[in-house]
Structure 1
């Protein structure tokens, strides 16, 4: 069913007028990974350092258009490489299997699909595009795949598996790969749900691995200093020599809490580790813990694991985040997901305590002191972020989606409102708002979006993909609903 194109909604009372903040204060981006597609949208969290930043300007604060492509799938991963063509990895609503979609950049329509073998609920989600714009993904086959897209002789787009490397003994029966990232030597690092970490040299087929003895529920991050893996008990920094065997440079335990919280998918940290920093772009690492009741942001020095700060963030009477922190320069941004209603959680996640809670939300900016010896809260916004925020270093704004209850903003239900919002990263003020839709079809489920050229934000939902873009001219286009 088609619906009329949704125009930008006015700002809500109490929010700032649409301003034009300067680009984020100049700081180095995470070092470019030569084995990742350029452009800042080749991984779920933007880059292999998981900074959740983009070098491109976002949709901005003017009039926007939005279009939903229905795929009957939850689509947490929307990537784009040097050719600007979005590649989405989605999990089918009915078969729970991963499906790869190639999207039309102008409309968001799926132009071709490749079905992969079923794995765990997180299987295939954490994938990336390599330097040749090929999707690198692990599915239920027990193999690492590279999937290329190209036009066939008939002019139609195709997705094709061009490389397959077995994980072999590194992937035991009942285990699944939940994290993938390339290092700066071209090896593919992986982490499994049962805590096996390793490297794959796809040129030779060599797989080297070791067990950490701790579970993993989030993706992994790479930078020149090594590979960061957050388990359900500790943050590890790993490196590998010429033999490819992972070794631990340091391990930092954190407070894993007494139980899983509502709005979380596992016990322990909900964070993919974030490399960031004002000098090299990767001298710090950030995660959150699972302390009860108020979680802490933990910032460590990547070189040696020294504690820079452990700072309580978000609500004091019940907080938690399933999102990776956003990191740029001296600043870290954390969004509260406590109480967010996930329709399903991974096997073995355990019961949430309490079983449910209101989704109050909130986004907090924390700045690392200039001397690297502490941190302080800069601002807190009341925005109920329903997606992983993305920071544009080009226009200085955080882009996310806000979820609002019909009667009580914090009480979620099937008729909730979803708005694309932008925040001034310097102050936390809302600078733009655009109504996306109402109800389950528009639930962004704390997924990460990515930005492509022209200020287009691609955001996954529980049922498909949203394409959010500046309105450049009058149009009679329609949304798919």
Structure 2
């Protein structure tokens, strides 16, 4: 009975806190230094070991620099996957593990994609079911609100819908380019401590009711966009002219990548494409590479197909016009696929099977590190209303199949091999990142109940649903350290990435809002 009362009070506390966070941000505007409300967590987390492992000495990775896109913010600050190549890497260091502190912001919604303006402040879009998406400008230290803007439309109840701000980018002029829930692309400037809408483009005549998944500019400044229904289009930001084509019978659930040769790389649930702008900016298919889409939509995936945004490796001036990588969705084992990306066609470099048979799925981008690729296993992840309620009642959510692997690519010999394989870390859905400055891979883990070091002072109803920021040595795959972020469903990151700020702080969006973990 004591356990029942305990969890009822916890649920009521969480519900009240989320309701307060969902109120309009007028108080924050009037009192800009008002501290952000913390995300409430399961009190049983007090019985968990907050930190395991050891702080590390920086061991930088000497990797070729990714070209800076002329129409996007500097690499590491511009979009969810960090740069136009979608490498998921940062040049700077992340947390080393020295006295790590956790600060959280309760938002009443998932603050997924995080970018950084020219002053190092966080620019993010927070999504809460049944409410309008909210564009936020946050202080990078205490996470208080500097500016807030409601975006058009309403977030639906689907847990795999990323339209309306799941993907956006920050351009070279501190402007947010964000697709909305109402079929528009808005350009919103960060002016001092405010947001100013500069222009809005209505794409509904072309896309109808389809949601815009992502939009990025090519190297000439022409804006490319994709929809879940398979529309690939271009928008001339100077004239407002829209041109498009539809991939019949195919769906798109991920972002796109662009390179300096004008290539735009799109993965559908059937094939990987290279597009280039044709006459008057119309999208044209340069080549199409079909991959093995498997037999099913696996638990943890948005659709039946590759779950990865295309990752580009090497300059377009290099052999084969550079390279592009995705994962397929094959059974019994999925593969990391690497091929040339030049206009001549997708010449295959190699294909490497990863993760256990029938139990492998990757719904996040591959990380490109000095020509190698890192993949994570998201098989078994689920998140819906029932899962949230289960977590609020203090019960454990489902365990995912562990696994993260580094694939070494020998481009000269056109072969792949496994450099290392970590079969212990459980990574439900985070977009993991590598900090080249100190050689660490940052991920967000959810250990099983048996793997938790849980020592309650008295009998309680099971172990808490605990979430950790975990750092792995990028050269060996071995865990360096793991820091408890929090316990309970509001600490579930639900496909949000790890983002690294200029000062080395790590930020993770979660169902309850946003958290920051930094060296003290």
| 1:125 paired to 2:166 | yes
1:416 maps to which of 457, 465, 480: 465
In the other structure, the counterpart of 1:474 is none
| 1:89 paired to 2:125 | yes
* CA separation of 1:373 and 1:83: change in aligned 2, threshold 3 A: same
2:135 maps to which of 82, 87, 100: 100
1:65-464 alignment runs, 5 A limit = 65-95=101-131, 97-118=132-153, 121-123=161-163, 124-151=165-192, 157-172=193-208, 174-213=209-248, 214-225=250-261, 226-241=263-278, 243-277=280-314, 283-303=322-342, 304-343=345-384, 358-371=399-412, 373-381=414-422, 382-386=424-428, 387-407=430-450, 415-464=464-513
Structure that is richer in strand per residue: 1
Distance 2:106 2:141 in 1: 16
- Please say if residues 262 and 357 of structure 1, whose CA atoms lie closer than 8 Å, have aligned partners that are also in contact: no
Unaligned runs of 5+ in 1: 152-156, 346-355, 472-481
* CA separation of 1:293 and 1:250: change in aligned 2, threshold 3 A: same
**Shift in Å at residue 357 of structure 1?**
7.1
* CA separation of 1:435 and 1:38: change in aligned 2, threshold 3 A: same
Distance 2:108 2:497 in 1: 18
Instruction: Provide the secondary structure at the position in 1 that maps to 2:52.
Output: coil
Unaligned runs of 5+ in 2: 1-36, 387-396, 453-461
Distance 1:362 1:344 in 2: 26
* CA separation of 1:344 and 1:302: change in aligned 2, threshold 3 A: farther
Distance 2:105 2:316 in 1: 41
* CA separation of 1:277 and 1:208: change in aligned 2, threshold 3 A: same
- Please say if residues 28 and 278 of structure 1, whose CA atoms lie closer than 8 Å, have aligned partners that are also in contact: no
Distance 1:264 1:177 in 2: 19
Per-residue CA distance 1:350-394 (angstroms, 9 max, x = gap): xxxxxx974122110001014150111111112112411111111
**Shift in Å at residue 242 of structure 1?**
5.5
* CA separation of 1:414 and 1:324: change in aligned 2, threshold 3 A: farther
Instruction: Provide the secondary structure at the position in 1 that maps to 2:446.
Output: strand
Distance 2:129 2:60 in 1: 39
Q: Which deviates more from structure 2 when the two are superposed, residues 278-287 or residues 191-200?
A: 278-287
- Please say if residues 228 and 251 of structure 2, whose CA atoms lie closer than 8 Å, have aligned partners that are also in contact: yes
Distance 1:408 1:425 in 2: 23
RCO greater where, 1 or 2, for CA within 8 Å and sep 6 or more? 1
- Please say if residues 359 and 401 of structure 2, whose CA atoms lie closer than 8 Å, have aligned partners that are also in contact: no
TM-score by length of 2: 0.81
TM-score by length of 1: 0.87
- Please say if residues 425 and 447 of structure 2, whose CA atoms lie closer than 8 Å, have aligned partners that are also in contact: no
Instruction: Provide the secondary structure at the position in 2 that maps to 1:454.
Output: coil
Per-residue CA distance 1:5-63 (angstroms, 9 max, x = gap): 99993426xxxx54435211x23232110111114121000012111011111112322
Distance 1:405 1:449 in 2: 21
Structure that is richer in helix per residue: 2
Distance 1:78 1:171 in 2: 26
Q: Alignment RMSD, CA only? A: 2.5
